[in-house]
Structure 1
Amino acid sequence: MKITGNTILITGGTSGIGRALAEAFHDRGNRVIITGRREDLLEQITAGRPGMAGLPLDLADPDSVRRVQAEVQTCFPELNVLIANAGISRAEDMTAETWDASDAQAIIEINIFGVLRVTAAFLPLLKRQQDATIMATSSALAFVPRADFPAYCASKAFLHSWLQSLRHQLSGFPIEVLELSPPYVQTELTGVGQASDPRAMPVDVYLSEVMDLLERKHHARGEVLLERDFARRWAERDGQYDVIFDAMNPAKKRRSP
């Protein structure tokens, strides 16, 4: 992937990793289009950054995706990079009497179908470019899950597998397919507490390492993954899956019948 001279569309670009990516790429001389549901945030972020545009987009609404697709084709026909970053995360207690599938459905709608919709919308445009990239934000939790976030982790495991198939099918086109797999980062993905959690990696530190990997093209198999997460990535291969899973998911006390 080129680091400069691109026209880049980033979903979920108004906060967290998406916003950090948008600003990092804009600082390197790229034209950047951010999308999100809150128009006030889009206006606030783009106001002080000439060359950055904001488009309202609800990935759960196919009509919204079609509207953005049409606008981009008209106003930014040179689009050559799609970063499908938007995602949501919710904890789920499947032992609770009140548990149902509503949170899982919402997660699947955005994290899976949202990525598929936006990729399908812009793939025809990307195929026309001489040098294009699709990058989707997965998670290191795709490899070893946090059991209290079952649907979220499963959605990222889906993306990991799906991106491998997409990469293979597009191998005859000048389109690079990358998987961004962040660790636990100081964003508000799971709530405001995560943004200040000292156990989480600061966003600016994470982005610095990501941009370095991209600049050096240091992403084997198309996976943009920090070295600190190699143990989880290869846990099953290395015979460490149970050890790492147990460390991430302390055993619960057995309930009395």
Structure 2
Amino acid sequence: MDLSDRTVLVVGGTSGIGRGLARRFAAAGGTVAVAGRNPSALEELAAEGFGTVVLDVTDDTSVAGARDTVLARYPELDTVVTMSGVMVMEDLRDPAHFETTRTTVETNLLGTVRVLDAFTPHLVGRGAGTFVTVTSGIAFLPFPPMPGYAASKAAVHAYSEALRAQLEGTGVDVVELVPPAVASAGQEKVNPNALPLDDYLGEVMDLLAQEPTPREILVEGVLGHRFAERDGTYEALVAQRSRALSMLPSRQG
């Protein structure tokens, strides 16, 4: 992917990896807009020179309105990154967890689908472009305290694969970003081994710049997750990660 002259929308780019990616695309020479729900974060990004759009991926009307605004401002839009996501622990022994699952799936999976649906006609009409979907190493190697997150990201992986197949021949590529634990959005508090954000972004941009661009953007730190089943380490690693269930309130005391 030529990173030097792209027009990029980063949905969910107001913090963490998304914000970092927006800055990296801009530094590479791209025109970058950021969409999200946080007004103060959007104001900060606007002060940095980014285009900003209010967008709530859980709301059909918000997504449609943001799409219209973006395409009016950036008719040359060629890259859409779908970053929006929530990551929350759930205790499956407590039926009250269902509301957390609902919110997680609504944001991570259905929010991604809404954004993809909104911009697919535009990119297909151009005959060229790229969707970047965002899953997680947890999609391939579950973290038991976060079952809804794991399920939603596994679903985004499968959806990305299907979308790529359906868009074959249109000129529109689908690239799946698969982060490991990255030291942003508080993940470093849960996992002290989380990869520093700048290191992660550097690896990602190097991979995105390859020709052809890989279908999955897999930094070194996520390979053990992605290929655990192939490598025969899956069961042992899930058992190891299950020790974190002790963090659930019902398991303490």
Give the TM-score of the pair, scaled to structure 2: 0.91
2:166 counterpart residue number: 169
The aligned runs of 1:97-108 (5 Å cut-off) are: 99-108=96-105
Q: Identify if the C-alpha distance between structure 1 residues 251 and 156 changes in structure 2 by more than 3 Å, giving closer, same or farther.
A: closer
**Which one of the candidate residues 177, 180, 183 is aligned to 2:177?**
180
Q: What secondary structure does 1:89 align onto?
A: coil
**Counterpart selection for 1:231 from 208, 224, 238:** 224
Change (3 A) 1:237 1:47: same
Match of 1:111 in 2: 108
2:89 is matched by which residue type in structure 1? A
Q: What amino acid does structure 2 have at the position aligned with 1:185? A: V
Instruction: Report the more deviating stretch, 196-205 or 12-21.
Output: 196-205
Structure 2 SS opposite 1:250? helix
Q: Is the 8 A contact 2:3 2:25 kept in 1?
A: yes
Separation of aligned partners in 2, 1:26 and 1:196: 30
Residue aligning to 1:90: 88
Q: Which has the higher helix share?
A: 2
Aligned to 1:211: 205
Amino acid at match of 2:199: V
Q: How does 1:113-192 map to 2 (within 5 A)?
A: 113-188=110-185, 192=186
1-structure distance, mates of 2:107, 2:43: 23
Contact 2:181-2:187 within 8 A present in 1 as well = no
Partner of 1:23: 23
Which residue identity lines up with residue 99 of structure 2 in the other structure? S
Cα distance between partner residues in 1 of 2:220 and 2:198: 17
Q: Does 1:250 align with 2:243?
A: yes
Match of 1:48 in 2: 48
Shift of 1:29: 1.0
For the Cα contact (< 8 Å) 2:104–2:148, is it kept in 1?
Answer: yes
Read off the aligned partner of 2:56 and give its amino acid letter.
D
Contact 2:83 2:134 in 1 (8 A): yes
Secondary structure, in 3 states, of the residue corresponding to 1:249? helix
Shift of 1:248: 1.7
| Structure 1 residue 239: Cα displacement | 2.1
- Measure, in 2, the Cα distance between the counterparts of 1:204 and 1:252: 29
C-alpha displacement at 1:233, in angstroms? Answer: 1.4
Query: Is 2:6–2:30's contact at 8 Å kept on the other side of the alignment?
Result: yes
Q: Which amino acid aligns with 2:84?
A: A
Contact 1:140 1:232 in 2 (8 A): yes
**Helix, strand or coil: the match of 1:58?**
coil
Retained in 2: the 8 A contact 1:3–1:25?
Answer: yes
**3-state DSSP class of the match of 1:99?**
helix
Q: Does 1:69 align with 2:87?
A: no
Identity of aligned residues (%): 36
Distance 2:27 2:244 in 1: 46
Q: What does the per-residue CA deviation read over 1:17-47, in whole Å, with 9 as the maximum and x for residues that have no partner?
A: 0000000001111111101112221121121
Q: In the TM superposition, what whole-angstrom CA distance separates every residue of 1:204-256 from its partner, at most 9, and x where no partner exists?
A: 11000100111124764x01011232222122122221112112222979x9x
**Conserved 8 A contact 2:53-2:66:** yes
In structure 1, what is the Cα distance between the partners aligned to 2:189 and 2:173? 31
Letter in 2 for 1:204: D
- Tell me the distance in 2 between the aligned counterparts of 1:161 and 1:61: 23
Q: Aligned residue for 2:194? A: 200
Moved more, 140-149 or 127-136: 127-136
Q: 2:14 maps to which residue? A: 14
TM superposition shift of 1:198: 3.4
